[in-house]
Amino acid sequence: MFKKVLSAKKSNTSIRNRLNLYFSILVILILSVLILILGVNGVFSFYDKELESVLNSQLENSCYKIQEEMDVLAANSIALSEEITENVTSVLLEEGKNFDDLKDNPQLIYEIENRLYPNLNTTLKSSQCSGVFAILDTTINSNILNAENSKSGLYLRFVNLNAENPVHQSVVMFRGIADIARNENVELHNRWDLEFDSQNLTFYNDMIATNSNKLSESYIYCNRLKLTETWEEISLLSVPIFDNYGNVIGICGTELSKIYFKTNLPATESSYGKIMTILSPIEDDKIFVEDGMVGTTANVGIETLDFLTVEKGKHFNRYTSENENYIGIHEVINLPSENGKDFAVLTLIPESGYKLYVRKHNFLWILGSILFFLFSLVLVFLFSKKFVEPIKNSLKNLTETELSQCQQSGIQEFDELISVLQKKSQQDNNIPQEKNLPKNMDDLIVDFTKRVETLTPAEQSIFQYYIDGYDLKEIAELNFISISTAKKHNTNINKKLKTSSKEELMLYIELFRRCDCLDRISSKN
Amino acid sequence: MKKIFSIMLIFVMLSFALTSCKNNENELVVITMWHVYGGQTDSPLNNLIDEFNSTVGAEQGIFVRVDAVSNSNNIHKGILSSVNNEPGAGKLPDIFASYPKTILAMPDDNILVDYNDYFTDDELSAFVPAFLDEGKIGDRLLGLPVAKSTEIMFVNQTAFDRFSAETGVKVSDMYTWDGLFDVSKQYTNWSDSKTPETLNDGKSLLAHDYHFNYFQVGVESLNENFFTENSLNFSKTFGNVWQPYADAVLNGGVWLKGGYATEPLRTGDAIVSVASSASVLYYSNKVTYPDNTTETVEFTAHPVPTFENGEPLVMQRGVGMYTVKSTPEKEKAAVAFLKWLTEPEINTKFVTKAGYMPVTSESFDKYLAPAVETIDNPMYKELYKAFIKTQENYTFYNAPLHPNYLDLEMRFEEQIRYHFEAEKLNYLSTEGNISDEIISDSLDKFKKNYEN
């Protein structure tokens, strides 16, 4: 380019090409400076910052929502535990029994479950949960197989987990005495059973053995587990139940099913794709997704993952797995777990979605720049054409018409040039010595010119042949005359021109040629 | 100059094409669904949906998300509360499974996709015609069958054998309604006699999912119309159907509490059920008794009883799939999923796991028999044997698209159970001596209450 610019200076380049070149350089310079300024001002890392802001905002909302709901669930579970304590104590007092007498006493257990049903039903309908349960550390029949793990209690669940209004929801009994369900006009779950199997609740024994007698310090949110014999997965917020002496006699709490969690925490639309929310145990750089709950996603993959590994980043983190990677951020919330791990809320998007978005927008930037460049070039070509066109027209006008008849072009500089030329031409006409020759030479030329004008047309013709370089013989042939006639014309020519010989005549002709004045004596003009 | 403009135009078009391609790759069309296949148990349809999402769905950018698996009654309630904009009602799903009664109860069924717009005549001709008919409302095809069921009689064979051993009663005695009701009375007396210290604690033999269906199919099988223009036809034939039923109910032989028939069989409160073949999913081979002892039992399946002098008629059941109108992309995606689900091989795979009949002729002719051969679960084997007998010997009965069908059915179902709960208490003192007069009176009372 630089070479071209230099060569443009030297070579015989048209004004238009020069203009095209200079303007193109200007456009490239402006574009480069623009990109540099945008780059320095962080426009190209804008996406990272924007995504960080979006993720932060989503995380803040999710954390607030989950924390608040978990706090309410914990409070409701604690209240349920206290009500159960009160009702169990009341029934035992009425019957003159103590808690140990419940074992192998179906009638007494029926009395207690019957009394507890309204408490559980009210808690279920007044809490943001999908089910509610109360397990008493006793059994209807201690003589059956696996009796040590069989525990009496009630477990009520909503039938349609997707409905958002708990007041009119149908309730189904998953565990408990069937007659209670029938009295309450509640259906039995298709996988109903009379009692709980404590082996399915990994935290049961630890909770029963708890030393703390403060309910607010004893609740836990358990890892995700499969609801026995169904396709559903749940998490339980569990609280111990104490008797009047502070002994643990069972556990109770609320259930959050996977579907309920999904509908409660829908994926949020963003420019980068759907942002999903996960509540999951975390330890060091590992997120145990298999033990947590996943909000609505449009992606089956993440729900089947065992864990995600966290790679910390400047604006956000990368969460890697064997299959797909995600980007997002997380925050630990205050939620006691069954195994001492923290619970974290994560807001994530698939990394592929983010990359695609950035690629798409970078592509648009590049495309925009190219289009801008092309558009500028088109303007350069158009402007240069517009600029040169009147000049070319004026030149054409000048060549096609007499200088004196040249019209105004509308271009100030060009019109001034024409004006100067016209003045010069006028001077030339008034002063024949227009050529810049020495005075004597000029006089000689003017005199000789005047003498040439005295030649007859025939002599003029012969003289012209001499100018054109023919010799006497050729001139005679070309004029269809005899050599003697030609010689006679020569004699007249010499006489009129005051030359003594052909050599002198030719000397004059040469002089005129060299002085670039041949046109004055040539009849060809 | 023209060249430059052409190049620019190509650039712009290319960029739009490229960006739109990328969008399609990234954004899945999410289809939400409420269905009935496997509520509260392992869902065979959910497994198939996972298969669809990871194969065909992934290729076509479709993701089917199951938001609810419940029974048809709950879906019916959920859909109606959504379309009626009741406070707290959820958002309508893109696809839901239901009976035509739900559509008839809707204030405006124009919110549903007409499958005629998405299926060619050839595609529709692959379906069993009788199955398609149920989804037709006028000239529109709103419900698409994906699996069909019928009513089957399930017997807790282990418990029945104990009863049979002492009384000589056989399962074949229950092949007619009169026989079944007679056996149910015997069972109540027999079980009552097991605890002489407690009076009137005899157990019911029979649990029926829909008592309304017993009367409807019974009356129709005796060549009498069950419905009048606005209500039920309490004809003499109705009285004939009522008689053995009422006799057994008042004697305690029939389970009257609400809920599905699987429930009392699970608790040992009944040992025979007449229910949808699809309820096979919900039967467990474990019966839990009130003392928390459990028993592993064997179930057998049989065609439903008939009236001796009646036509062998059986209720055709099974919900259809309804698609809610939305955007053309979503509608196409929903239909793409339904087409996949009704492909003969996929459909057979689905129905044989759920206890249903397939919906295309090719599935019946080519895939069903080999698929049944590979079934390991003995209860499913029993069911398909009963299916084959039913298909050979019975005519399928489709409930009519009566404008008040739902109201008539729900009112009947509630009132008949309530009526006999009350009547049972009244006639408990008769010590099993239920006269024809008492039965006739009870019908009069029921008619009077029902028609009010």
ipTM of predicted assembly, 2 dp: 0.77
Give the span between the Cα atoms of A234 and A131, in whole angstroms.
9
Q: In terms of pLDDT, which residue wins out, A398 or B11?
A: A398
Give the span between the Cα atoms of A381 and A21, in whole angstroms.
10
Compute the CA torsion angle A362, A366, A371, A374 (nearest 10 deg): 180
- Which chain A residues have a beta carbon less than 8 Å from that of B291? 106, 140-141
Q: Within a 10 A sphere around the Cβ of A187, how many other Cβ atoms? A: 22
Compute the CA torsion angle B111, B114, B119, B125 (nearest 10 deg): 140
Backbone angles phi, psi at A14, to 5 degrees: -70, 155
Q: Say if strands A150-158 and B206-208 run parallel, antiparallel, or are unpaired.
A: unpaired
Query: Which residue, among B338, B324, B333, B325, has the nearest Cα to B61 in the 3D structure?
Result: B333
**pLDDT value of residue A428:** 67
**pLDDT value of residue B28:** 78
Mean pLDDT of B153-176: 96
Give the span between the Cα atoms of B180 and B74, in whole angstroms.
31
- Which chain B residues have a beta carbon less than 8 Å from that of A150? 292
**pLDDT value of residue A196:** 96
Mean pLDDT of A351-378: 85
Q: Within a 10 A sphere around the Cβ of A67, how many other Cβ atoms? A: 16
Q: How many residues does chain B have?
A: 452
- Which chain A residues have a beta carbon less than 8 Å from that of B32? none
**Range of weakest confidence among A10-14, A194-198, A217-221, B273-277:** A10-14
First to last CA, chain A: 47
Confidence of residue B229 (pLDDT cuts 50, 70, 90): confident
Half-sphere exposure of B131 (CA within 13 A, CB side): 24
Relative orientation angle of helices B405-427 and B436-451, to the nearest 10 degrees = 140
Alpha carbon A152 to its chain's center:
58
Contact A198, A151 (CB under 8 A): yes
Instruction: Provide, rounded to the nearest whole percent, the portion of chain B with pLDDT above 70.
Output: 92
Instruction: Provide, rounded to the nearest whole percent, the portion of chain A with pLDDT above 70.
Output: 91
Angle at the Cα of A123 (from A122 to A128), degrees rounded to 5?
A: 120
Give the span between the Cα atoms of A13 and A4, in whole angstroms.
11
Mean pLDDT of B360-387: 87
Q: What is the pLDDT of residues B4-46, one digit of tens each?
A: 555 555 555 554 444 444 444 456 788 999 988 875 556 788 8
Q: Is B25 exposed, middle or buried (0-12, 13-18, 19+ CB in 10 A)?
A: exposed
Q: Within a 10 A sphere around the Cβ of B172, how many other Cβ atoms? A: 9
Question: Hey, are the CB atoms on B40 and A150 less than 8 Å from each other?
Answer: no
Mean pLDDT of A227-236: 86
User: What would the two tokens of residue A274 be?
Assistant: 């759907």
**pLDDT value of residue B8:** 52
Contact B277, B147 (CB under 8 A): no
The yes-or-no verdict on residue B176 having pLDDT over 90 is yes
DSSP state of A20: H
Q: What is the DSSP string of A85-106?
A: HHHHHHHHHHHT--GGGGTT-H
The contacts found for A175-181 with CB under 8 angstroms, 24 or more apart, are A175/A133, A176/A113, A176/A117, A177/A106, A177/A109, A177/A110, A177/A113, A177/A114, A177/B290, A178/B263, A178/B267, A178/B269, A178/B290, A179/A110, A179/B290, A180/A110, A180/A113, A180/A114, A180/A117, A180/A154
Q: Pick from B19, B46, B65: which is nearest to A360 by CB?
A: B19
The yes-or-no verdict on residue A49 having pLDDT over 90 is no
Confidence of residue B3 (pLDDT cuts 50, 70, 90): low
Sorted by sequence, the CB contacts under 8 Å of residue B422 that are 6+ apart come out as none
User: What would the two tokens of residue B179 be?
Assistant: 């026989």
Contact A136, A85 (CB under 8 A): no
**pLDDT value of residue A503:** 85
Give the span between the Cα atoms of B273 and B157, in whole angstroms.
12
- Name the 3-class secondary structure at A1: coil
**pLDDT value of residue B20:** 43
Q: Which residues pair with B357 in a beta bridge?
A: B148
Give the span between the Cα atoms of B325 and A29, in whole angstroms.
55
- Which chain A residues have a beta carbon less than 8 Å from that of B273? none
Mean pLDDT of A336-353: 90
B384–chain A nearest CA distance, Å: 22
Backbone angles phi, psi at A247, to 5 degrees: -85, 145
Question: Hey, are the CB atoms on B11 and A374 less than 8 Å from each other?
Answer: yes
Query: Which residue, among A265, A271, A293, has the nearest Cα to A281 in the 3D structure?
Result: A293
Give the span between the Cα atoms of B331 and A456, in whole angstroms.
105
Task: Give the DSSP H or E segment for B75.
Answer: helix B72-83
Question: Hey, are the CB atoms on B42 and A192 less than 8 Å from each other?
Answer: no
Question: Hey, are the CB atoms on B87 and A165 less than 8 Å from each other?
Answer: yes
Confidence of residue A100 (pLDDT cuts 50, 70, 90): very high
**pLDDT value of residue A224:** 92
Question: Hey, are the CB atoms on B4 and A172 less than 8 Å from each other?
Answer: no
Instruction: Provide, rounded to the nearest whole percent, the portion of chain B with pLDDT above 90.
Output: 52
Mean pLDDT of B356-372: 88
Contact A185, B258 (CB under 8 A): yes
Angle at the Cα of A93 (from A89 to A97), degrees rounded to 5?
A: 100
Please give the residue of chain A at the shortest CA–CA distance from B53.
Answer: A300
**Range of weakest confidence among A158-162, A240-244, B153-157:** A158-162
Contact B19, A360 (CB under 8 A): yes
Question: Hey, are the CB atoms on B68 and A162 less than 8 Å from each other?
Answer: yes
Please give the residue of chain A at the shortest CA–CA distance from B279.
Answer: A190
Give the span between the Cα atoms of B70 and B53, in whole angstroms.
21
**pLDDT value of residue A166:** 53
**pLDDT value of residue B85:** 84
Sorted by sequence, the CB contacts under 8 Å of residue B386 that are 6+ apart come out as B152, B153, B277, B301, B302, B303
The amino acid at A14: S
Top residue of B66, B292, B330, B418 to mutate, by most chain A CBs within 10 Å, is B292
**Range of weakest confidence among A119-128, A334-343, B106-115, B387-396:** B387-396
Contact A226, A246 (CB under 8 A): no
Q: Pick from A190, A298, A371: which is nearest to B282 by CB?
A: A190
Please give the residue of chain B at the shortest CA–CA distance from A360.
Answer: B19
Backbone angles phi, psi at A322, to 5 degrees: -65, -35
Contact A491, A500 (CB under 8 A): no
Please give the residue of chain B at the shortest CA–CA distance from A372.
Answer: B8
Please give the residue of chain A at the shortest CA–CA distance from B78.
Answer: A163
Q: Which residues pair with B324 in a beta bridge?
A: B112
Confidence of residue A523 (pLDDT cuts 50, 70, 90): confident
**pLDDT value of residue B447:** 93
Question: Hey, are the CB atoms on A377 and B290 less than 8 Å from each other?
Answer: no
Question: Hey, are the CB atoms on B263 and A172 less than 8 Å from each other?
Answer: no
**pLDDT value of residue B40:** 54
- Which chain B residues have a beta carbon less than 8 Å from that of A262? 67
Confidence of residue B443 (pLDDT cuts 50, 70, 90): very high
Please give the interface size between A and B, counted as residue pairs whose CB atoms are below 8 Å apart: 140
User: What would the two tokens of residue B218 be?
Assistant: 């019974």
CB-based contact (8 Å) between A187 and chain B?
Answer: yes
Angle at the Cα of B109 (from B107 to B112), degrees rounded to 5?
A: 140
CB-based contact (8 Å) between A160 and chain B?
Answer: yes
**pLDDT value of residue B152:** 94
**pLDDT value of residue B5:** 52
- Which chain B residues have a beta carbon less than 8 Å from that of A178? 263, 267, 269, 290
**pLDDT value of residue B184:** 96
DSSP E strand boundaries for B4-138? 29-35, 62-69, 95-98, 136-137
Confidence of residue B431 (pLDDT cuts 50, 70, 90): low
Q: Pick from A140, A178, A356: which is nearest to B291 by CB?
A: A140
**pLDDT value of residue A179:** 93
Give the span between the Cα atoms of B140 and B133, in whole angstroms.
10
The yes-or-no verdict on residue A275 having pLDDT over 50 is yes
A403–chain B nearest CA distance, Å: 35
Question: What are the CA-CA distances from residue A53 to residues A46, A273, A329, A497 (Å)?
Answer: 11, 15, 11, 102
State the residue for tokens 């006008």: A397
Contact A280, A274 (CB under 8 A): no
The yes-or-no verdict on residue A163 having pLDDT over 50 is no
Mean pLDDT of A111-132: 94
- Name the 3-class secondary structure at B10: helix
**pLDDT value of residue A25:** 87
**pLDDT value of residue A143:** 93
Q: What is the pLDDT of residues B273-301, one digit of tens each?
A: 999 888 887 888 899 999 999 999 999 99
For chain A, what is the mean pLDDT?
86
Give the span between the Cα atoms of A40 and B294, in whole angstroms.
76
pTM: 0.72
Q: How many helices (H) and strands (E) does chain B have?
A: 19, 15
The maximal CA–CA distance of chain A, rounded, in angstroms, is 172
Give the span between the Cα atoms of A159 and A172, in whole angstroms.
6
Mean pLDDT of A89-96: 94
Contact B387, B79 (CB under 8 A): no
Q: Say if strands A293-294 and A317-320 run parallel, antiparallel, or are unpaired.
A: unpaired
Question: What are the CA-CA distances from residue A66 to residues A260, A293, B66 (Å)?
Answer: 13, 11, 23
Confidence of residue B353 (pLDDT cuts 50, 70, 90): confident
